[in-house]
Amino acid sequence: MSKKFYLPVAAILLFAGAGVVCSICSILGPKIINPLDRNLSSIDREIFFFIRLPRVCVGFLVGMGLATAGSILQSILRNPLADPFILGISSGASLFAVLALFLSNTFFILPVLPLFAFIGAITVSATVCLWSWREGTLHPEKLLLVGIGLSFFLQSLLMLLLNFIPSDTIRRASMWISGDISSADWELIPYAGFLIFLGMSVALLKTKAIQAMMLGDEIALGLGVNVHRERLFLIIAMSLMTAAAVSLSGIIGFIGLIIPHLARFLFRKIFSSHSYPPCLRSLLLLPFTAFVGGIFLTFADLVGRTILSPMEIPAGIITSLIGAPYFLYLLRKKNGNLSIF
Amino acid sequence: MEIYQYFKKGIFTKSTFVKEAAKEAAITTSTSTPTPTATPTIKIENLCFAYKQNQKKIFTDLNLKIYPAKLIALLGANGSGKSTLLKLIARILRPSSGNVLIDQMPLSHYHIHELAAKISYYPQSVEQNLSMLSISVEELVAMGAYSHSKDLNKKLFIPTRNSVIQMVGLEEKRHHPLATLSGGEQRRAFLAMFLHKGSRILLLDEPLANLDIKYQIELFHILHKLATVEHFTIVTAIHDLNIAKEMDQVLLLHQGKIIANGDPEKVLSKENLNSAFELTGLIN
């Protein structure tokens, strides 16, 4: 297969896979609903199209966005602990989202929410990067500490802001703190979906730069990569995805950190370097990570709303319950070092 | 201890290297290489540099010409400016004033891709980043092609991925993750990437540090062959006087000034080393 077909084929496979996963997860649940059934009651139809399907789509989009954002961050900052939540980027996005909600009593236009979240995310990313910038280079270890510090500060601001919010919007606002996809509806999905795919496209076009940067800025420069410019592009792409994910579901912390590692581990098992050429492997890793993130959150949510029905367990709890032990198992393995690409 | 005795005796003698290289040259004469000319590959004119504006200058009015097809050692005490000089030539740092010319064109005139096709720079701290990477040797070498573009490729002779992996002797480990290789093998993998990139000027910051003798000899051998057979210009910052003795040319740096430049035998005299490393009083 010629090289130029790799990307379109990968994209088609990703979309097809996402479609299959979303359909299966919408059909399954406490009660199996087959949307093709002609005798479907109107209540079931309502549940399928306006509760389950948007919820599954939100789950997939958020999982995808956060996993990709985490993966990009870990690579370009050369730090396996980097993730939008730890660096305070999610907190920044949710703070601005709540701010938008706060102001929205007077004027409320929906796209404002992801836009505000994006402004929050990009402000925090820029602050974190500038703060850990010394003598022309980024210090990854410092960056993490700056991010953690800033994250605490932003969360306190968020709590403070919640005190001033009118009680009717407080339920929606509290979503941005706890992270929840159960109240998903179709309203925001097109906007957030667009942002996530925009971010993904930028990241895919910059795969070479991401790969070069993980060898260190000096080597990347020698490979013809304009390090500072590419890093800026990638941080914008990552902020777009984080902002979109946060405006859909609030802060879900686990996915951005763990899924990239899980995905890389699975990727090495499935696409071994013996049988796949280097250029295909480097191109496929990001879409694969996105796909794993999407599947993971969607299935976690499916489990959460099914096993103890009618009670619901939030998806964030299930992801941690399944993912954390598996992650710890990976770390114990012989070659289980954390990798950044 | 008589330090000069140590490096005069040497662990390996120059003659073996030269003989080996000559032998290989006879075998691989078919490769298309330009003939060395009298124009310098790297020319440094009145270079001044300081890390910060108010700080002490590391270089003041440095002038230097480096000719092609040479394996050159930059020698000097810690902080004498070896790494800084390499970074200035690689355009990682920008000079405060003065010029660096590569093939008679100022460094600032090069597009980032053109420069990538000319120069490869190997920094000191690369190994730190490698432990977290899961890429294989072949994938690393393939990254050398990132700077390639169609019009540049027409002008350059770029060896294939297979041939460069073969040249550095990593065929058997081509699918191994980089992190599992030994230090010497990792450096050879990077060398293969630089060769695949097509650049003919290599700036290597301590390429032989922390390697055992076997790996040092292997790597030195490859570098020597590149310089003599393929007419590469290779500038290395090193600390080992033993190895410096085997190079084609030695540059002795002391506090940002070149105090000696030329054949190793002449440059590595007792007086020069005394002043470069400030050894007076430490040894007899």
Asked whether the predicted pLDDT for residue A317 surpasses 70, the reply is yes
Task: Identify all chain B residues contacting A212, using CB atoms and an 8 Å cutoff.
Answer: 143, 146
* pLDDT at residue number B172: 92
The whole-angstrom distance between residue B255's C-alpha and the CA centroid of its chain comes to 20
Among the ranges A24-33, A236-245, B51-60, which has the highest mean pLDDT value? A236-245
Q: How far is A72 from chain B, CA to nearest CA, in Å?
A: 14
| Higher pLDDT pick, A101 / B188 | B188
Range B248-262 average pLDDT: 91
Distance CA A115, CA A125 (A): 15
Asked whether the predicted pLDDT for residue B13 surpasses 60, the reply is no
Q: Which of residues 159-178 of B touch A (CB under 8 A)?
A: 175
Range A165-192 average pLDDT: 77
Q: Which helix (H) or strand (E) holds B46?
A: strand B42-49
Q: Which amino acid is at A105?
A: N
Chain A residue nearest residue B118, CA to CA: A222
pLDDT tier for residue B156 given thresholds of 50, 70 and 90 = low
Question: B146, A278: Cβ pair inside 8 Å?
Answer: no
Phi-psi category of A56—alpha, beta or left, where left has phi over 0 and alpha has psi -120 to 50? alpha
Distance CA A179, CA A188 (A): 16
What is the overall mean pLDDT for chain B?
A: 82
Distance CA A11, CA A327 (A): 28
Question: A340, B121: Cβ pair inside 8 Å?
Answer: no
Task: Identify all chain B residues contacting A268, using CB atoms and an 8 Å cutoff.
Answer: 134
* Torsion sign, CA atoms B3, B8, B13, B18: positive
Question: B134, A218: Cβ pair inside 8 Å?
Answer: no
Question: A215, B197: Cβ pair inside 8 Å?
Answer: no
Which token pair is B22? Answer: 């000559």
Does the beta carbon of B113 lie under 8 angstroms from any beta carbon of chain A? yes
Which residue pairs, CB below 8 angstroms and at least 24 apart, start in B277-280?
B277/B76, B277/B77, B278/B77, B279/B3
B268 in Cβ contact with B7 (< 8 Å) = yes
Candidate from A7-11, A25-29, A51-55, A261-265 with smallest mean pLDDT: A7-11
Best of A141, A223, A330 to disrupt the B interface by mutation (most B CBs within 10 Å)?
A: A223
Asked whether the predicted pLDDT for residue A114 surpasses 50, the reply is yes
Question: B135, A338: Cβ pair inside 8 Å?
Answer: no
* pLDDT at residue number A202: 92
* pLDDT at residue number B275: 86
* pLDDT at residue number A46: 86
CB pairs under 8 A between A and B: 90
Does the beta carbon of B127 lie under 8 angstroms from any beta carbon of chain A? no
Asked whether the predicted pLDDT for residue B19 surpasses 50, the reply is no
Q: Percentage of chain B with pLDDT > 70?
A: 84
Residues linked to residue B99 through DSSP beta bridges, in sequence order: B45
DSSP structure string for A262-311: HHHHHHHHHS-TTTS-HHHHHHHHHHHHHHHHHHHHHHHHHHHHHTTTTS
A26 in Cβ contact with A48 (< 8 Å) = yes
pLDDT tier for residue B71 given thresholds of 50, 70 and 90 = very high
- ipTM field: 0.82
Q: Which of residues 282-311 of A touch B (CB under 8 A)?
A: 282
Range A134-138 average pLDDT: 71
Which token pair is B60? Answer: 């003041």
Question: A339, B134: Cβ pair inside 8 Å?
Answer: yes
Question: A224, B132: Cβ pair inside 8 Å?
Answer: no
Q: Which helix (H) or strand (E) holds B120?
A: strand B119-122
Chain A residue nearest residue B89, CA to CA: A222
What is the overall mean pLDDT for chain A?
A: 84
Q: Which of residues 44-73 of B touch A (CB under 8 A)?
A: 51
Q: Which of residues 13-42 of B touch A (CB under 8 A)?
A: none
DSSP structure string for B97-119: EEEEEETTEEGGGS-HHHHHHHE
Distance CA B243, CA B206 (A): 11
Question: A222, B138: Cβ pair inside 8 Å?
Answer: no
How far from each other are the two terminal CA atoms of chain B, in whole angstroms? 8
B121 → closest Cβ in A214, A222, A278: A222
3-state secondary structure B220-262: HHHHHHHHHCCCCEEEEECCCHHHHCCCCEEEEEECCEEEEEE
Asked whether the predicted pLDDT for residue A109 surpasses 70, the reply is no
Range B245-260 average pLDDT: 91
Q: Which of residues 76-95 of B touch A (CB under 8 A)?
A: 87, 90-92
User: A134 in helix, strand or coil?
Assistant: strand
A326 in Cβ contact with A262 (< 8 Å) = yes
Chain A residue nearest residue B132, CA to CA: A339
| Higher pLDDT pick, B234 / A331 | B234
Asked whether the predicted pLDDT for residue A2 surpasses 80, the reply is no
* pLDDT at residue number B17: 43
Question: B133, A340: Cβ pair inside 8 Å?
Answer: yes
pLDDT in tens, B80-117: 899 999 999 999 999 999 999 999 999 999 998 889 98
pLDDT tier for residue B22 given thresholds of 50, 70 and 90 = very low
User: A86 in helix, strand or coil?
Assistant: coil
**Please, which residues have CB within 8 angstroms of residue A145's CB and are 6 or more apart in sequence?**
none
* pLDDT at residue number B25: 47
Nearest to B163 by CA among B135, B198, B187: B198
A50 in Cβ contact with A185 (< 8 Å) = yes
**Please, which residues have CB within 8 angstroms of residue A136's CB and are 6 or more apart in sequence?**
none
Helix residue ranges per DSSP H, B57-160: 82-89, 112-118, 126-130, 137-143, 150-155
Question: B143, A215: Cβ pair inside 8 Å?
Answer: yes
What is the value of pTM for the model shown? Answer: 0.85
* pLDDT at residue number A15: 82
B139 → closest Cβ in A135, A264, A278: A278
Range B198-207 average pLDDT: 91
Distance CA B210, CA A18 (A): 49
* pLDDT at residue number B16: 43
Q: How many residues does chain A have?
A: 341
pLDDT tier for residue B204 given thresholds of 50, 70 and 90 = very high
pLDDT tier for residue A107 given thresholds of 50, 70 and 90 = low
Task: Identify all chain A residues contacting B125, using CB atoms and an 8 Å cutoff.
Answer: 216
**Please, which residues have CB within 8 angstroms of residue A302's CB and are 6 or more apart in sequence?**
A25, A28, A29, A56
User: Between vectors from CA A315 to CA A62 and to CA A89, what angle results, nearest 5°?
Assistant: 45
Q: How far is A271 from chain B, CA to nearest CA, in Å?
A: 12
DSSP structure string for A162-198: HHHS-TTTHHHHHHHHH---TT--SSSHHHHHHHHHH
Q: How far is CA B156 from CA B34, B149, B229, in A?
A: 11, 11, 17
Q: Percentage of chain A with pLDDT > 90?
A: 20
Strands B201-205 and B233-237 come out as parallel
User: A106 in helix, strand or coil?
Assistant: coil
A339 → closest Cβ in B121, B132, B143: B132
A60-332 has which fold? ABC transporter involved in vitamin B12 uptake, BtuC (1.10.3470)
* pLDDT at residue number B283: 66
A341 → closest Cβ in B112, B120, B133: B133
Rg of chain B taking only CA atoms, in angstroms: 19
pLDDT in tens, B23-67: 554 444 334 444 445 788 999 999 999 988 788 889 999 999 999
Asked whether the predicted pLDDT for residue B242 surpasses 60, the reply is yes
Residues linked to residue B254 through DSSP beta bridges, in sequence order: B257
Range B264-284 average pLDDT: 83
Nearest to B239 by CA among B97, B73, B49: B73
Q: Which helix (H) or strand (E) holds B171?
A: none
Distance CA A192, CA A123 (A): 19
Task: Identify all chain A residues contacting B51, using CB atoms and an 8 Å cutoff.
Answer: 135
Question: A223, B115: Cβ pair inside 8 Å?
Answer: no
Does the beta carbon of B118 lie under 8 angstroms from any beta carbon of chain A? no
Distance CA A40, CA A66 (A): 35
Nearest to A263 by CA among A294, A300, A304, A303: A294
Distance CA A93, CA A202 (A): 20
Does the beta carbon of B179 lie under 8 angstroms from any beta carbon of chain A? yes
A339 → closest Cβ in B120, B133, B142: B133
pLDDT in tens, B173-195: 988 888 888 888 999 999 999 99
User: B42 in helix, strand or coil?
Assistant: strand
User: B121 in helix, strand or coil?
Assistant: strand
Asked whether the predicted pLDDT for residue A171 surpasses 80, the reply is no
Asked whether the predicted pLDDT for residue B150 surpasses 80, the reply is no
Question: B129, A222: Cβ pair inside 8 Å?
Answer: no
Chain A residue nearest residue B125, CA to CA: A216
Asked whether the predicted pLDDT for residue B222 surpasses 50, the reply is yes
pLDDT in tens, A70-96: 999 988 888 888 889 888 898 898 888
Task: Identify all chain A residues contacting B115, using CB atoms and an 8 Å cutoff.
Answer: 224
Does the beta carbon of A281 lie under 8 angstroms from any beta carbon of chain B? yes
Q: How far is B108 from chain A, CA to nearest CA, in Å?
A: 14
